[in-house]
Amino acid sequence: MRKALPTAILSFVATIVLIDYWFKIPVVNNMAKDFTTWVSVIANVALGLGAVNLVLVHSRHIRLKRMEWGNSLVLIVLMLYVMVIGIAQSSNSPTYRWIYDNINVPLGSTLFATAAFQIASASYRTFRARNVESGLLLITGIFVMLGKVPLGEMMASWMPTFAQWIMDVWNTAAQRGIMICTAIGLVIISVRVITGMERGHFGSGE
């Protein structure tokens, strides 16, 4: 019963949403609209629970004086301050926008800049020509990278055109193949979830 009831509710809601997408049935359409509203409500409740859990976890770090507990203190103070400003003055207030533009945006840029080193390291490991496939990937990657920088055009005038051809033909074909396979897999897993055959979302492998 602990899993049967959630499975039944999930199957019912998913079926209503699917019928609403394909057919114009007033009763079903209204139910689907209500379900969509409930999705927004549940998502906001989940966001609130996540904030509460964040405060509880980092409060424990502060109380026990764990390593780098000062970062936890800064996180909680700033989070609560931004929440108060957003609720009291709305997200369009000058104070809220200043915090977002001068703290959140630079931090995001810093994280992306740090990720660039990880991407470079991953590219080095990927482009090591250990077999024929990785060798073809290495050669293709070199052509594409050279075609996207002025050095490639200086080396050969046809390099940018060839690199763009690779992106438009080879890359697009591969992406479409991946998208088709992903869509088929999504349909299969959706049918399994709706019919109750898939139980992985309950936190177990059964």
Per-residue pLDDT of the chain (206 residues; tens, 9 = 90+): 667 787 788 888 888 888 888 888 889 889 989 998 998 899 989 988 998 999 999 998 888 888 888 888 988 888 888 888 888 888 788 888 888 888 888 888 888 888 877 877 777 776 676 778 778 888 888 888 888 888 888 888 899 999 999 999 999 999 999 999 999 998 888 888 788 777 666 665 44
DSSP 13-56: HHHHHHHHHH---HHHHHHHHHHHHHHHHHHHHHHHHHHHHHHH
Q: What is the pLDDT of residue 201?
A: 62
4 and 81 share one domain:
yes
162 and 109 share one domain:
no
* Cα(150)–Cα(158) distance, integer angstroms: 12
Q: What is the pLDDT of residue 204?
A: 53
137 and 120 share one domain:
no
64 and 32 share one domain:
yes
49 and 62 share one domain:
yes
User: Is 37 part of a structural domain of the chain?
Assistant: yes
SS3 assignment, position 199? coil
Can you read off the two tokens belonging to residue 76? 């909680």
Q: What is the pLDDT of residue 202?
A: 64
User: Is 25 part of a structural domain of the chain?
Assistant: yes
* 163: nearest Cα among 192, 182, 141, 143: 143
User: Is 69 part of a structural domain of the chain?
Assistant: yes
- Rg of the chain (C-alpha set): 25
Burial track 131-140 (b if 16+ CB lie within 10 A, e otherwise): eeeeeeeeee
CA angle 55, 57, 58 (to 5 degrees): 65
Q: What is the pLDDT of residue 45?
A: 92
SS3 assignment, position 65? coil
79 and 18 share one domain:
yes
Tell me the whole-structure pTM to 2 decimals: 0.55
Q: What is the pLDDT of residue 165?
A: 93
User: Is 135 part of a structural domain of the chain?
Assistant: yes
63 and 107 share one domain:
no
62 and 117 share one domain:
no
Q: What is the pLDDT of residue 203?
A: 60
73 and 49 share one domain:
yes
36 and 13 share one domain:
yes
User: Is 205 part of a structural domain of the chain?
Assistant: no
As separate numbers, helices (DSSP H) first and strands (DSSP E) second, the chain gives 9, 0
SS3 assignment, position 2? coil
Give the count of domains, the chain. Answer: 3
- Structural domain range at position 33: 1-89
120 and 144 share one domain:
no
